[in-house]
Structure 1
Amino acid sequence: MRRTPVRRRTGPLAALAISLCLGGGLLAAPSQATPAAAPPTPSAAPTTAQGPDGAGPLGPAPSAARPVEAEHVRDARTPLDQRPPLSADRDALRHDYDMSVAPATPDTLSPEQRHPSARGRARAACDVGDFTGNTGAALVEKVRGAAPDCVNTLFNLTGADARGAFREEQMVTVADALRAGSADYPGDGSTGMPQIVLFLRAGYFVHWYNPDDVGEYGPALRAAIQGGLDAFFDSAHAGDVTDANGETLAEAVTLIDSAEENARYLPVVKRLLEGYDASYDDSWWMLNAVNNVYTVLFRGHQVPEFVDAVERDPSILRTLSDFAAQHLDLLGGEQSYLTSNAGRELGRFLQHATLRPEVTPLARGLLRRSEITGRTAPLWVGVAEMTAAYDGANCATYGTCDLPERLTEAALPVRHACGPSIDIRAQEINAEQLAATCASLTGQDAFFHDIARDSGPVADDHNETIEVTAFDSSTDYQTYAGAIFGIDTNNGGMYLEGDPSVEGNKPRFIAYEAEWLRPDFAIWNLNHEYTHYLDGRFNMHGDFAAGVSTPTVWWIEGFAEYVSYSYRDLPYEEAAAEAGKHTYPLSTLFDTTYENADTTRVYRWGYLAVRYLLERHRDDVDTVLGHYRAGDWRAARQHLTRTIGSDYDADWDAWLTECAAGGCARTA
């Protein structure tokens, strides 16, 4: 993905809804690093916001061809005074290593493949009126009887529907149902408890973003939610180590944060961390339940009562330290994130001067138990990042001074020039792989220029040399890239353009080897990201902020996909399948932004729009690119929305039919 704007958290945890599972990686301006991450839709899986260090916890991945899921995701850097609620699309991918475009991309997996516990769950029809038109016991019955997928859709409610479903009286009713249902909670979803909890989470989420629509939340709801959560966590089966219980438990832990009850439930956080053992590893949901406590801790720093509570009883600090120290064996394995998150969240308490004397020796102890490279690196780097962010003046105490430079030298020892315009820095790559990578990149230049029909770099662009940074795996990218480059890593890679008008500016894209394709060697999204560099230098005037001052994402990501697939002579089967759905008129796609679209619209439909225009209306492409190259974004926008407008929509629709029927099987 090219440079994407930072989406600030402004509600309980709206993150995955915000991030995109990039078809190619991300674009980011110097101070605008955003994730290209987990999929799509404005109501996505739970994630955490980031603090100034830019790193929240990571999360569990189910057994799949490659790691694709996570609860704690690096999100756009967010001020600590903003705390959006977590959104919740169960089918959204939750992992700090979400990839993008390639065979078997994660967002093409079925819900059952992503969430084993979802197997057999039908996608029932969902009538919003069931929740807006009922109150009291009738409302509770509708919530209990709805499919979780149906309740997920409520995260998108606005206006009268938002008020009808989630005004305080409705939320109090359902919170009371959580309390009542906990008395005989059987440890599974048979009584509708997952839906009850998810409904409450949706209410807090919608209220955060649409407070005027929903109305005020006050003491009545706070008392009700405390009563409901108290009853649930005290229930006999809330601690069952099973997938059946884990579904409700994981959501309930997230609900703690949604309701901003982070301080009250610190004992629950401790109980889950202290109770974890290998028996949890057989349950995806139980792993999420444990990992979600890091969300409660991470975002708790934004709640004054939470900090006060830890100051009164700092035992959670020792719990985190002990968890990390006792589970060093997890590092390098599927549950590595549990250990590294513990260290990271311990270190985050360094931001409070009153707690620093207790945190410092614990953080130093974890740094001594781990190393900057190798299996224990995720723990070392996570703790080191926190020391740099929150106690940098005392870096010598921890041995973490000059952290980005030290990490760069340790993790990216390979340096290689592909020629005068491309430099490679890599973690581990042999001569044959370097040669293949250079050939792929340099060979793409002529292909790009043939399609773009440019006459050279745009005015004031000095990005003459690009640095290609390649980590050895998605895990290594996740471990190091954020600390070195200050970017988010819940994506398939990121292009950092910088300010091309500055002499000596160093654009780079940061990527990693697709370890799931081994023994074949491939740097994930290599050609997509390189297209962003070429597009920025030869087609898009100015920096990223200028380039997205009007909706240009249809071109930015669609063209990168088009060049990547066409240059590699690969059919884009997922895009052709989308064409058969006729989801979007062409005129609608001209309005695509990173904020209003999901992965499918940004990448697959962007590809389709670019391909259609190149095949059927090349003159219009030349006109629009002429305006882009001059930085006349308004003129380009006018051509798309007024000159073209909806005139091509009928022909576009017919072209989509041809594409889906095999017309797009050939590469362009």
Structure 2
Amino acid sequence: MRYRFALPRRMAGAAAVCVTVAGLLSTPALAAPQPHTGTAARTPGRHTPVPPPTGATTGATERPAAPARRLSPAQLPPHATTLTRSMETAPRGVAKGASCTPADFGGRTGSALVSLVKASSTDCVNTLFSVTGRDAHDVFRQAQMLTVANAFTRTAGQYQGDNSGSLQQLVLFLRAGYYVQFNHPGDVGSYTSRLTTAVTGGLDTFFARSHSRDVTAANGDVLGETVILTDSADQQGRYLNVYRRLLDDYDSSYDAIDSMIRAVNDVYTPLWRGNWNPAYVQAVDADPRIIDTLYDYALANTDQLGTDLAFLDSNAGMNLARYVEHPQLRETVRPLTKDLLDRTGITGPTAGLWVAVATQANSYDSADCAYYDVCDLPAKLTKAVLPVTRHCDANVSILAQSLTAADLDAACASVLNQSTYFRGLVKADGAIPGQYVSTIQLVVFASRTDYQTYAGPIYGISTDNGGMTLDGDPSDPANHVTSIMYQKNYDDGFVARIWNLNHEYTHFLDARDDMKGDFTQQTSVPDVWWIEGLAEYVSYSYRGLADDQAIQEAAKHTYKLSTLFENTYANSDVTRTYPWGYLAVRYMAERHPDDIQRMLARFRAGDYTGGYAVYHDGIGTRYDADFDQWLTACAAGACARPSAA
């Protein structure tokens, strides 16, 4: 996917991990970390825009991801878990397929609104995170939020440790409101202290219930969403004791309960995002016990490093080191941060913690980077973990962690031959003139764990995905494209086991030959059906494979073609973006190639409004019926054969 937003990790060699960690813990105890008086730290957080509240509830994915620009480490959130929350189809007694539109929520007030929210599935409420304009105002204006906040307080007072009272839907609605209002304040309108008082009343009530401490799957989902709500409402300082309790209470009994692991990890969101909230920083200064909690957790749980739960430990270290930004906390945090670095390593089983801590120290205390030995961190990491280089030709190079000579040969051959295939498909005569999108570096980490450990600090990308391509600035003569990927530990259908290799390379080819301008220009109209659908279509068809998931989706007839034409990264989930994007592009390539050429003629000129008009206005709904029939044939076997370019 083209670039967007950071995540978990798994390291091989459990035995080696145990030996290393055991050795680490059995050595004589280090002397207590000593205070360090360093130079004044720069404070990038003060100049970095406040990150938005957490969006819709989703899990990490191995689908590629979509971006516009590199991010600074200050913008990269704590690592998320790959464990997905349980999303209900609908509460008992509610018909499947019940209406779920913004108008349904915006058109109700008072008890009718509360009843609808409670009766809706969490999947339905999740869709409200993307509303804008008049819908955003109607659904999330303060009066609506107050109604739901008061219902949240009443329902929390009866909380029995599960979602029988639909508390999760109420919390999710409030989270969505804060998210939409943060991103579209002009649409929603202002929120006042009345709403804060109402929401904290519900939060206080919930956390006071004994069942909020249940270590059960049923409680975990509700608990995690509620912890995130403390952050959405910017009440991080008020709930420091809750965060401390969740981290202190964690033990191995949680490990078999996915939702409880997620709930513990959710604590790191307010602890991180709170750094942009002066009231939170003041609260930590007044009661700094959370600093000790994070340090103690990081030390006590190093056995998680190198396992599926490594993110819990690395996030503790990350949040501890994050405090070095603040002058009133710096002298306490500096020696603890250095101690964690001294106990871990830049590579090996403890690398997840080392990199997480080093990234924060380098970002927020860069003037004293020598104290931590983290100066020029991206270059330091690159030298340590990406030693392999190969030039496929004058324009394509590979930077890798552990590719063999045979792997490099295969990867080069695959992408170089793909260029000819691609141009035959899109009928491109050559690169778009006047742009600098001719060179690309393919970066390949040895595993998803390594990708999630190192790619964020080196390249400024989120890693809760299956790879990312950075187009850069096509107007810059020094521009080069970078695709960042990783190898699977089994045959994944790609050469050299490089996950999404041909998908990511298609993004480069599309930007070079079809889509003028940078990523922001390219996505100025709804054209994600083409951007991601083409990458999937070329990836599968070039390799001579059928897209089995797309074929399964075709049988469901979920979307009309005219609906897919409106795909954006904001309004489309993973399924709508990738398998359905594949189906839309394959249908158009097989049935209406001339329409594709008319669209691309406008895209190549940078006229995205004109290209959008080709399918939005010129085609509209005309092909919907034929697309539906084509889906039937596709599901019946017609798509089992890869189509020729």
Q: State the AA in 1 paired with 2:224.
A: A
Take 1:460 and 1:159, find their aligned partners in 2: how far apart are those partners?
A: 37
Is the 2:5–2:463 Cα contact (8 Å) retained in structure 1? no
* 1:14 counterpart (50, 55, 58): 55
Which residue among 61, 77, 86 is the counterpart of 1:56? 77
Contact 1:474 1:515 in 2 (8 A): no
Deviation at 1:9, TM superposition (A): 7.9
Could you tell me which of 291, 312, 317 is aligned with 2:286? Answer: 312
1:614 CA displacement = 2.1
CA separation of 1:388/1:130 partners in 2, compared to 1, >3 Å: closer, same or farther?
Answer: closer
Q: How far off its partner does 1:321 sit?
A: 1.2
Match of 1:288 among 255, 262, 265: 262
Letter in 1 for 2:2: R
From 525, 533, 541, the equivalent of 2:516 is 541
Equivalent of residue 217 in structure 2, options 243, 246, 268: 243
Question: What letter matches 2:551 in structure 1?
Answer: A
2:53 maps to amino acid: P
Further displaced range: 412-421 or 475-484: 412-421
* Cα distance in 2 for residues equivalent to 1:383 and 1:160: 43
Decide whether the 8 Å contact of 1:22 with 1:603 is kept in 2.
no
Name the residue aligned to 1:575: 550
Aligned counterpart, 1:522: 497
Distance in 2, matches of 1:391 and 1:336, equals 25
- Shifted more, 527-536 versus 453-462: the winner is 453-462
Letter in 2 for 1:561: E
Match of 1:596 among 564, 571, 588: 571
Q: In structure 2, give the amino acid aligned to 1:55.
A: L
- Please name the residue that 2:24 is paired with: none
Residue from 342, 345, 354 that aligns with 1:380: 354
Deviates more, 1:607-616 or 1:144-153: 144-153
Q: Quote the offset at 1:583 in angstroms.
A: 4.1
Structure 1 unaligned segments of length 5 or more: list them.
35-50, 63-68, 70-88, 92-110, 113-117
Q: Give the Cα separation in 2 of the matches to 1:216 and 1:627.
A: 40
Alignment CA distance shift 1:230-1:652 (3 Å): closer
Which deviates the most, 373-382 or 446-455?
446-455
Alignment of 1:26-425 (within 5 A): 26=65, 28-29=67-68, 32-33=69-70, 53-62=74-83, 69=84, 91=87, 124=96, 126=98, 133=108, 135=110, 147-149=121-123, 151-152=125-126, 155=129, 171-172=145-146, 174-176=148-150, 178-182=152-156, 185-205=159-179, 207-208=181-182, 217-425=191-399
Out of 484, 489, 495, the residue aligned to residue 469 of structure 2 is: 495
Separation of aligned partners in 1, 2:611 and 2:347: 48
Partners of 1:225 and 1:513 in 2: CA distance: 45
Match of 1:106 in 2: none
1:442 matched residue in structure 2? 416
Deviation at 1:403? 0.5
- Tell me the TM-score normalized by structure 1: 0.80
**Identity across the alignment (%):** 47
Residues 392 and 202 of structure 1, relative CA distance in 2, 3 Å threshold: same
> Offset of 1:360 from its aligned partner?
0.9
- Deviation larger for 170-179 or 460-469: 170-179
- For 1:610, the aligned partner's letter is V
Seen in structure 2, the aligned counterparts of structure 1 residues 157 and 459 have a Cα distance that, compared at 3 Å, is closer
2:578 match: secondary structure? helix
8 Å Cα contact 1:28-1:495 kept in structure 2: yes
User: Which residue in the other structure is 2:596 paired with?
Assistant: 621
Task: Indicate conservation of the 8 Å contact 1:133/1:164, yes or no.
Answer: no
Stretch moving more, 400-409 or 279-288: 279-288
Please say if 1:662 is aligned against 2:637: yes
Structure 1 position 422, deviation (Å): 2.5
Of 259-268 and 542-551, the range deviating more from structure 2? 542-551
Conserved? CA contact 1:317–1:346, under 8 Å: yes
Change beyond 3 A, Cα 1:183–1:580: closer
Distance 1:597 1:148, change over 3 A: closer
| TM superposition score normalised by structure 2 | 0.82
Q: Quote the offset at 1:436 in angstroms.
A: 2.6
Give the SS at the match of 1:297.
Answer: helix
How many residue pairs align between the two structures? 597
Question: Which letter does structure 1 place at the counterpart of 2:350?
Answer: T
Q: Secondary structure at the match of 1:344?
A: helix
Q: Deviations over 1:21-74 (max 9, x none)?
A: 575x24545xx148xxxxxxxxxxxxxxxx752321123334xxxxxx4xxxxx
| 1:545-590 Cα shifts (integer Å, max 9, x gaps) | 3433444433222221111110111111222333344444434444
RMSD of aligned Cα (Å): 3.5
Query: What amino acid maps onto 2:216 in structure 1?
Result: T
1:212-270: per-residue Cα shift (whole Å, max 9, x none)?
A: 77665444443333333223222223222222322322222112112221111101111
Which whole-Å CA distance do the structure 1 matches of 2:196 and 2:478 have between them? 55
- For 2:636, what is the secondary structure of its paired residue? helix
Q: Is the Cα contact below 8 Å between 2:130 and 2:570 reproduced in 1?
A: no
Offset, 1:274: 1.3
Q: Which residue of 1 aligns with 2:32?
A: none
Amino acid at match of 1:654: Q
Q: Which amino acid aligns with 1:402?
A: D
Q: CA deviation at 1:459?
A: 0.9
Tell me: CA distance 1:362–1:283, structure 2 relative to 1, closer, same or farther (3 Å): same
**1:451 counterpart residue number:** 425
**Structure 2 SS opposite 1:238:** helix
What SS class does the counterpart of residue 556 from structure 1 fall into?
Answer: helix
Residues 460, 542 of structure 1: 8 Å contact kept? no
Aligned in 2, Cα 1:181/1:395: closer, same or farther, shift over 3 Å? same
* Structure 1 partner of 2:541: 566
Partner in structure 2 of residue 42 of structure 1? none
Equivalent residue letter for 1:431: A
Q: Deviations over 1:134-165 (max 9, x none)?
A: 745x8767665665445545556678887777
Q: Which amino acid aligns with 1:435?
A: D
Question: Alpha carbons of 1:581 and 1:361: their partners in 2 closer, same or farther (altered >3 Å)?
Answer: same
For residue 45 of structure 1, what is the aligned residue in structure 2? Answer: none
Distance 2:188 2:475 in 1: 46
Alpha-carbon contact 2:321-2:337 (below 8 Å) kept: yes
Per-residue deviation, 1:354: 2.1
Q: Mean alpha-carbon deviation: is it higher for 440-449 or for 194-203?
A: 194-203
Structure 1 counterpart SS, 2:441: strand
- Residue 430 of structure 1 deviates from its aligned partner by 2.3
Distance 1:125 1:542, change over 3 A: closer
Per the alignment, do residues 123 and 390 of structure 1 end up closer, same or farther by CA in structure 2, a change over 3 Å counting? farther
